[in-house]
Chains A and B, each alone.
Chain A
């Protein structure tokens, strides 16, 4: 394996790991926001949220 291949593999592995991490955080956030919206649509709200309105 040439030196350039080791460099490319290192940057590739770092990029894939970071991309995976960003994707996981984003998907997790989207899923939680959807769950919260579904609960609120069903009329289930936090007491403090009700008081704030």
Chain B
């Protein structure tokens, strides 16, 4: 057996739902504890840092708004990778991953939209403008809701997985549009000040709380994603067992 096929086999062994349940049961409490620790340090830094000389106290909204916006895009990227896993490798957990990431992504996008609006009113003088960045993030939110609705509308998980995987990959075109919208179009939303080719232009006073909060949000996403995946595996097991019970009851009646 070649080294590559051995590596693939090792990976698919890990992706076995039973093994995933066993492994995740050990991992998630640790992840939850580390997430809580990062949030404690992050929130302390958020409120201990000084206000901005122009924005005053409202700069603190950034520590929630920016990580939530990053996560809204990262979550969709995780879904796109999972969609590839469903369509190309028919990975048993890929569909579970894509399906369970959608509600979490929708929540992070909702937080980004709400906190952005609450930051926009005092700084821009308006709750909302239909500029390229805000509109593309709003489209992302609608896409999350659409994918959740689609998964709930189709009874057969295998069929729902295929259709939603195609939709997720088509919708992925929105992610670079969100990222570069502030450069391609004239937007009220400011251009990137952290993830830039020439390095962050933001002062370390604001950068550190932002980075710690970003790590906390990322850990929160992965912890909740693992737990939601565990729930989805159990949901499918329950459905299988109920089908099995119904079938054996049917045989019992037929043999009478």
Contacts and interface: CB of A to CB of B under 8 A. Distances in A.
Q: Do A and B come from one complex?
A: yes
Interface of A: 1, 3-4, 6-7, 9-11, 13-14, 17-18, 20-22, 24-26, 28-29, 32-33, 35-36, 39, 42, 44-46, 48
Given A13-B115, A46-B240, A46-B241, A21 B107 contact: yes
B84 to A, nearest CB: 25
Interface of B: 18, 56-58, 60-61, 64-65, 68, 103-104, 107, 110-111, 114-115, 118-119, 121-122, 220, 224, 227-228, 230-231, 234-235, 237-238, 240-242, 244-245
B110 A3 contact: no
6 contacts: A3-B56, A3-B122, A6-B119, A10-B118, A11-B60, A39-B245
Given A11-B64, A21-B104, A21-B224, A6 B118 contact: yes
A21 to B, nearest CB: 5
B17 to A, nearest CB: 10
Contact of A14 (B111, B121, B224): B111
Contacts of B65: 10
B57 A3 contact: yes
A6 B234 contact: no
B241 A13 contact: no
